[in-house]
Amino acid sequence: MRKFETGGTRDNDTDKIDFEGFLSYPVLVAFGKYMHKHRIQADGNVRDSDNWQKFFGENHKDVCMKSLHRHFMSMWGNHRGYETEEEIEDSINGVLFNTIAYYHKLLHDKKQKNNHTK
């Protein structure tokens, strides 16, 4: 139990997940800007921000893995000083997005499997 000079008390936070400490504000802002930029489709329409959560067909994880590799190669090339098709920030955000989208599907499938085994 934590006790404050004001008399207020709170549970101990030692065993609680510290999202504020684990996450980076500037990284999440940059990622949000990257995601917003990529909401605009080739035909000019703007897709919903959570459109990616609808998945990319039955080969969703394969789509993510191929895109992740393309962005990683660009990130690596930038890191090594080579000229690439995209800036390193876009490469990093592409890697992050595809990792999140892949993991989202993995967790979704795991939840579906657990719901069917109960």
Parallel, antiparallel or unpaired: strands 2-3 and 9-10: antiparallel
Query: Does residue 116 register a pLDDT over 90?
Result: no
pLDDT score at 110: 96
When the pLDDT of each residue in the chain is averaged and rounded to a whole number, the result is 94
3-class SS shares of the chain: helix, strand, coil, % to 5: 60, 5, 35
pLDDT score at 61: 96
As a whole number of Å, the end-to-end CA separation of the chain is 37
By residue range, what is the domain housing residue 97?
Answer: 2-116
> Is 71 exposed, middle or buried (CB count within 10 Å of its CB: 0-12, 13-18, 19+)?
buried
Averaged pLDDT, 90-118: 94
More confident call, 68 vs 9? 68
Domain count, the chain: 1
CA-CA distance, 9 to 7, in Å (whole number)? 7
Query: Does residue 17 register a pLDDT over 80?
Result: yes
Q: Which amino acid is residue 103, in one-letter code?
A: Y
Is residue 101 within 8 A of residue 64, CB to CB? The reply is yes
Neighbours of 65 (CB within 10 A): 14
Averaged pLDDT, 5-21: 89
pLDDT score at 11: 85
Query: Does residue 28 register a pLDDT over 80?
Result: yes
